[in-house]
Structure 1
């Protein structure tokens, strides 16, 4: 029995019963990036009370959405195949929610996992297919990501490495303004919204073409 029962027999009501409780979809969002230990999930969702995180994990396991798995002598949480079917739903919700984003408030954070999923949401494989393979390193606060685009394939992971362009956003609003087209790549660099750390600054245009969401 789900934590909430709407008393309706429909696919949508059942889906909301399974994953509609507060924090559930954010847990799923982070697990779409990869398996996580309990502490890693808590660190990525710093406002979630520990009892709520434990309850959501238990509910999602009971629903067959996630499972506990041993990895190198530690227990991680990972999505089941059934849970992974939520990926297009989460990406579509991210694109829909992007339209309502304002500039971030001071207390709001961007985590590596949230930024990874935002990039997956904004990725345009049909555009990338026509562009040369490119590697980027993007930094925004604590989020440091290595982004590799090769044709219609996208790989995003934490860390740094050999890249064609490394850049940093001055503020959280910068990435929204860039991928929405509100701010052109050249202007982003000229105004300091984006700092080129190394590599070819003109490749920021390619990044903005590859990752785009309409505001």
Structure 2
């Protein structure tokens, strides 16, 4: 972490910001929560970052013990980056931060959204009804990226996979932006099916129930009064 800014504050929050508070650092972590990625995959998920800055952030996160680099076995043989066990403990922090931020009235909705970010929003918003007996497997394709969701009672397990699952209760194919619009209730299921912005394999009623498991949080109030 040579050359990084220090707060000179003994608070653990200050130290946390020294570890992941640099620009892009926490977004690099976000892109690795659902599994390892190559350098080129990370750049694709973070189109605004330069190769030099990504290299620097990865180096800093490795030095901090949050990210590790590993070479895949042949025939792949490529280098990948992944979270360490300690780094993976950031997942609930990242998803809770996303849920907190989603209440902001100034959250931008007209800028690019990575597939991993859109998929993780499902974890951030997941709120099944108390006592609801759920047992659901959902394949999610966001552009060319595939994810598998397994929901059992009040638990959601989300992973990145290589292709759509052979057996699933639902398979949803859309884009990160359309998924975000559905979750934010800016678009309806009828709308995206009619326009072809979403392809569905599975019962329509199950899909509607699935989307209801992710209610958008109530927007924060009183912002205008505070700003005035």
**TM norm structure 2:** 0.77
- Cα deviation, 1:33-75, whole Å, max 9, x if unaligned, reads 1111212111211211000000001111111111112221332
TM-align CA RMSD: 2.7
Corresponding position: 1:200 with 2:203: yes
Distance 1:206 1:122 in 2: 14
Structure 2 unaligned spans of 5+: 219-228
**TM norm structure 1:** 0.81
Equivalent positions of 1:203-214 (< 5 A) are 203-214=206-217
Distance 1:213 1:128 in 2: 17
Instruction: Give the SS at the match of 1:214.
Output: coil
Corresponding position: 1:188 with 2:191: no
Structure 1 unaligned spans of 5+: none
Distance 1:27 1:137 in 2: 24
Distance 1:15 1:34 in 2: 22
- What count of residue pairs does the alignment treat as equivalent? 207
* Aligned residue in 1 for 2:27: 26
Distance 1:116 1:49 in 2: 24
* Aligned residue in 1 for 2:84: 80
> Against the structure 1 CA distance between its residues 38 and 69, is the aligned structure 2 distance closer, same or farther, given a 3 Å change threshold?
same
> Against the structure 1 CA distance between its residues 214 and 19, is the aligned structure 2 distance closer, same or farther, given a 3 Å change threshold?
same
Q: Does structure 2 retain, via aligned residues, the 8 Å contact 1:95–1:122?
A: yes
Q: Does structure 2 retain, via aligned residues, the 8 Å contact 1:110–1:143?
A: no
